[in-house]
C-alpha cells in the first residue's frame, strides 16, 4: 500500500505559521466532519469552492489534521511563481504545482498543463492528497462558478493507468468553505468536509479509457452539488443579505447555535428564495429586502427593533457600555503599540491592492494580502521586541506574543462594547415614532417569516430551544447561560452571539452593489 510523501520541513513550517496567523485574523474557524478525511496512503483529491485566493488553500492546509494526512499538495496559477516576493517563495516552498491558465496568455498557446497533470497523477499514485479548485479561478462573487471537468478527467486518467489493479481506489473529497465576511478582521469561517466520492476500476468501468464525456460531466455535476450543498450559492448578494436577515428573525440574537447551524439555516432560506420569486415566498423576500434597507439606513440591527428599549434603559446601558469600552481600551493600549505596525502595514497593502482593479478581480485577494503582510510585519515586531530585551530574550520571546494576544482580546471586547454604544446612541437619534413604526412592521414580517420557516420549510417551531439542545460540544456552541458568561472572558476566543460580527464599530450587513460584481 502507498505510504504517501513525507512532510517536507518547509511545508510543516508554513502550516505552523499560518495556523497561527489564521487564528489571529479570523475569530473562529470551525471545521466539520474531519473524520471523513481519507488517511495518508490513500489517493485523494480535495476539492473546494474558491472565493478567497491563496487564503482558501492555507485554510485547507491547516484544517486537515496532521494525523490524517502528511501533506496536502497544492496547485496555484503559474503567474505566482518565479517572483522575488514572499508570496512566491511561500507557494514554491510548500511544494505547490503551477497551473497555467489560458486567460493568462494572449493566445492560450502556452497554457500546456500536460506535465502538471502527470505530476499530479504520480503524486496520487504515491498515496498523496492533491488540492484542486474546480471553479478554475478565485473570484469575489456570490455564486459558485460552473466547475471545470479537470477533476473528473484526472480521476479517469488515474483509473485507466491502474486498470489492472483490482484494489486501486481514489477518493474525491468535496469541501465547502463559507466565510461570514472573508476580508474582515476577526470574522468567522466554516469548513465543512463531505463524504468522499470513491472511484475504482472495478466499480467505475465507465470512467476507463475510452470514456464517454457524458460520464465526466456526470461526476462534475455531482461534485458541484456536494460543494454547493454546504455553503452559500446565490445569483446575487441581495439573496444572501435577505436570507441572513430571515435566519436572524427566525433564530434571534442570542440563540445558542453553532456556526454550522447558522450557515445551514441561512442556506435553507436562501434556497427557498432562489426557487421562486412569485407568491408568498417572493413577497416575503421583497419585504425583507425593504426592511433590511431601513435597518441599513439607520445603521441598526434587527434585534434593536425586536426588543424596543425605554429611553431611560438606553441611557443606562449606554453609560455601562461606554465605561466598559474605555476600561478595556485603556488596558489594551500598551499592547496596541506593538500591533500598530501590523495593522498599518496590512491596511496599506490591502488598500493599495484594491486600487489595482475592480471588485470582482481584486477583492478575493484582500485577505491574502492582509495575512501575508501582517505576518511579515508581526515577525518584525516580535524580532525587534526580543532584540530590545536581549538580556531576557528567552522570556520575552514568549511573553511578547502572549501580551499581544491578550491585548487583541481586550481590544476585541472593547470594539464590541463601542459598537453597542454606537447602536444605542443611534436609537436615540432615530426617534420613538420611527422605531415604533419599524417595530410594528417587524412584528408583521416576523409572523410571515415564521409561517414560511415552519409551514413550508419544515423548520422547528421553537428555534431557541431546538438549537440549544441539538448536537454536541462543537466549537462555537454555547452550552447554557453560565457557559455563555464564562466565554465572554475567554482567553482563547470571543463569545459570539452574532456570527456576522466583525471587529468594526458598525455591523457588517451590506455587500457590493450588483453592478460591481
Same-domain status, 502 and 456:
yes
| Residue range 486-504: mean pLDDT, rounded | 76
355 band by pLDDT with thresholds 50, 70 and 90: low
Asked whether the predicted pLDDT for residue 39 surpasses 50, the reply is yes
Same-domain status, 290 and 342:
no
Q: For residue 56, tell me if it sits in a domain.
A: yes
The percentage of the chain sitting over the pLDDT mark of 90, rounded to a whole number, equals: 58
Same-domain status, 102 and 192:
yes
pLDDT digits (tens, 9 = 90+) for 162-183: 999 988 999 999 999 999 988 8
Q: For residue 196, tell me if it sits in a domain.
A: yes
Same-domain status, 450 and 488:
yes
Q: For residue 482, tell me if it sits in a domain.
A: yes
Residue 449 to residue 492: CA distance in whole angstroms: 36
Kindly report whether the global pTM for this prediction surpasses the value 0.85. Answer: yes
Q: How many CB atoms lie within 10 A of CB 383?
A: 12
Same-domain status, 364 and 438:
no
| Residue range 365-375: mean pLDDT, rounded | 86
Cell reading at 71: 501533506
Q: For residue 310, tell me if it sits in a domain.
A: no
Buried b / exposed e along 276-310 (16+ C-beta atoms within 10 A): eeeeebeebbebbeebbeebeebebbbbbbeeeee
Considering only residues 475 and 78, tell me which one the structure prediction assigns the higher pLDDT: 78
The per-residue pLDDT for 485 is 62
Considering only residues 106 and 31, tell me which one the structure prediction assigns the higher pLDDT: 31
Give the three-class secondary structure for 359. helix
The per-residue pLDDT for 484 is 61
What is the total count of domains within the chain?
3
The per-residue pLDDT for 10 is 78
515 band by pLDDT with thresholds 50, 70 and 90: very low
The per-residue pLDDT for 475 is 47
The backbone region for 4, taken as left when phi is positive above 0, alpha when psi lies in -120 to 50, beta otherwise, is left
For residue 181, what is the domain's CATH number? Answer: 3.40.1130.10
The angle subtended at Cα 24 by Cα 138 and Cα 135, nearest 5°, is 15
The per-residue pLDDT for 365 is 79
Same-domain status, 143 and 258:
no
Same-domain status, 29 and 174:
yes
Q: What is the DSSP letter of 197?
A: E
Residue 482 to residue 4: CA distance in whole angstroms: 46
Residue finishing a domain among 409, 430, 451:
430
Considering only residues 397 and 357, tell me which one the structure prediction assigns the higher pLDDT: 397
- Where do runs of H (alpha helix) occur along 102-148? 114-125
Q: For the CA atoms of the chain, what is the radius of gyration?
A: 25
Same-domain status, 336 and 417:
yes
The per-residue pLDDT for 29 is 93
Residue 368 to residue 366: CA distance in whole angstroms: 5
Asked whether the predicted pLDDT for residue 276 surpasses 90, the reply is no
Residue finishing a domain among 430, 460, 477:
430
Q: For residue 323, tell me if it sits in a domain.
A: no
The per-residue pLDDT for 109 is 55
Same-domain status, 288 and 174:
no
Same-domain status, 14 and 92:
yes
320 band by pLDDT with thresholds 50, 70 and 90: very high
Same-domain status, 393 and 406:
yes
Q: Which domain does 19 fall in, by range? A: 9-228
Residue finishing a domain among 404, 430, 456:
430
Considering only residues 277 and 210, tell me which one the structure prediction assigns the higher pLDDT: 210
Q: For residue 217, tell me if it sits in a domain.
A: yes
What percent helix, strand, coil does the chain show, rounded to 5? 60, 10, 35
* Alpha-carbon dihedral sign for residues 176, 181, 184, 186: negative
Q: For residue 198, tell me if it sits in a domain.
A: yes
Instruction: Report residue 75: phi and psi, to 5°.
Output: -130, 150
Asked whether the predicted pLDDT for residue 504 surpasses 60, the reply is yes
Same-domain status, 127 and 222:
yes
pLDDT digits (tens, 9 = 90+) for 410-428: 999 999 999 999 989 999 9
Query: What's the count of helices (H) and strands (E) in the chain, helices before strands?
Result: 17, 9
The per-residue pLDDT for 512 is 61
- Counting Cβ atoms within 10 Å, is residue 106 exposed (0-12), middle (13-18) or buried (19+)? exposed
Characterize the bridge pairing of strands 170-179 and 187-193. antiparallel
Amino acid at each position: 500500500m502507498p505510504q504517501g510523501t513525507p512532510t517536507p520541513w518547509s511545508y510543516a513550517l508554513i502550516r505552523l505559521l499560518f495556523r497561527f496567523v489564521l487564528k489571529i485574523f479570523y475569530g473562529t474557524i470551525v471545521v466539520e466532519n474531519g473524520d471523513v478525511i481519507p488517511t495518508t496512503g490513500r489517493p485523494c483529491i480535495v476539492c473546494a469552492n474558491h472565493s478567497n485566493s491563496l487564503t482558501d488553500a492555507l485554510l485547507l492546509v491547516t484544517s486537515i489534521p496532521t494525523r490524517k494526512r502528511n501533506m496536502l499538495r497544492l496547485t496555484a496559477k503559474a503567474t505566482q511563481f518565479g517572483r522575488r516576493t514572499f508570496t512566491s517563495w511561500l507557494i514554491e516552498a510548500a511544494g505547490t504545482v503551477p497551473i497555467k491558465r489560458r486567460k493568462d496568455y494572449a493566445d492560450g498557446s502556452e497554457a500546456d498543463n500536460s506535465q502538471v497533470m502527470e505530476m499530479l497523477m504520480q503524486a496520487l499514485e504515491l498515496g498523496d492528497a492533491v488540492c484542486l479548485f474546480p471553479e478554475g479561478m478565485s473570484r469575489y462573487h456570490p455564486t459558485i462558478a460552473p466547475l471545470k471537468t479537470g477533476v473528473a478527467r484526472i480521476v479517469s486518467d488515474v483509473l485507466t493507468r491502474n486498470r489492472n489493479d483490482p484494489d486501486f481506489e481514489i477518493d474525491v473529497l468535496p469541501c465547502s468553505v463559507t466565510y461570514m465576511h472573508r476580508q474582515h478582521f476577526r470574522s468567522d469561517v466554516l469548513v465543512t468536509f463531505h463524504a468522499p466520492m470513491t472511484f475504482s476500476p472495478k466499480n467505475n468501468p465507465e470512467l476507463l479509457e475510452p470514456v464517454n464525456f457524458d460520464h465526466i460531466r456526470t461526476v462534475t455535476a455531482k461534485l458541484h452539488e456536494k460543494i454547493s450543498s454546504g455553503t452559500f450559492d446565490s445569483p446575487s448578494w441581495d439573496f444572501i443579505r435577505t436570507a441572513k436577515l430571515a435566519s436572524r428573525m427566525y433564530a434571534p440574537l442570542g440563540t445558542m447555535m453553532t456556526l454550522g447551524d447558522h450557515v445551514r439555516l441561512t442556506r435553507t432560506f436562501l434556497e427557498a428564495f432562489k426557487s421562486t420569486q412569485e407568491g408568498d415566498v417572493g413577497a416575503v423576500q421583497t419585504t425583507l429586502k425593504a426592511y433590511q434597507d431601513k435597518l441599513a439606513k439607520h445603521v441598526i440591527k434587527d434585534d434593536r427593533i425586536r426588543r424596543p428599549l425605554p429611553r431611560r434603559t438606553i441611557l443606562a446601558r449606554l453609560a455601562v457600555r461606554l465605561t466598559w469600552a474605555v476600561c478595556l481600551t485603556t488596558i489594551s493600549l500598551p499592547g496596541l503599540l506593538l500591533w500598530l505596525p501590523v495593522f498599518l502595514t496590512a491596511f496599506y497593502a490591502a488598500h493599495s491592492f484594491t486600487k489595482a482593479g475592480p471588485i470582482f478581480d481584486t477583492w478575493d485577494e484582500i485577505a491574502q494580502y492582509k495575512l501575508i503582510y501582517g505576518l511579515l510585519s508581526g515577525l518584525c515586531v516580535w524580532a525587534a521586541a526580543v532584540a530590545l530585551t536581549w538580556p531576557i530574550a528567552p522570556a520575552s520571546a514568549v511573553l511578547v506574543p502572549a501580551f499581544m494576544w491578550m491585548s487583541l482580546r481586550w481590544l476585541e471586547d472593547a470594539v464590541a462594547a463601542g459598537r453597542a454604544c454606537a447602536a444605542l446612541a443611534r436609537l436615540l437619534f432615530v426617534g420613538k415614532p420611527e422605531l415604533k413604526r419599524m417595530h410594528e412592521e417587524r412584528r408583521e414580517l416576523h409572523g410571515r417569516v415564521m409561517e414560511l420557516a415552519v409551514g413550508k420549510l419544515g423548520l422547528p417551531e421553537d428555534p431557541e430551544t431546538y438549537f440549544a439542545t441539538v448536537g454536541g460540544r462543537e466549537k462555537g456552541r454555547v452550552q447554557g447561560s453560565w457557559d455563555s458568561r464564562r466565554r465572554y472572558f475567554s482567553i482563547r476566543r470571543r463569545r459570539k452571539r452574532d456570527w456576522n460580527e466583525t471587529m468594526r464599530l458598525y455591523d457588517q450587513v451590506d455587500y457590493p452593489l450588483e453592478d460591481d460584481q
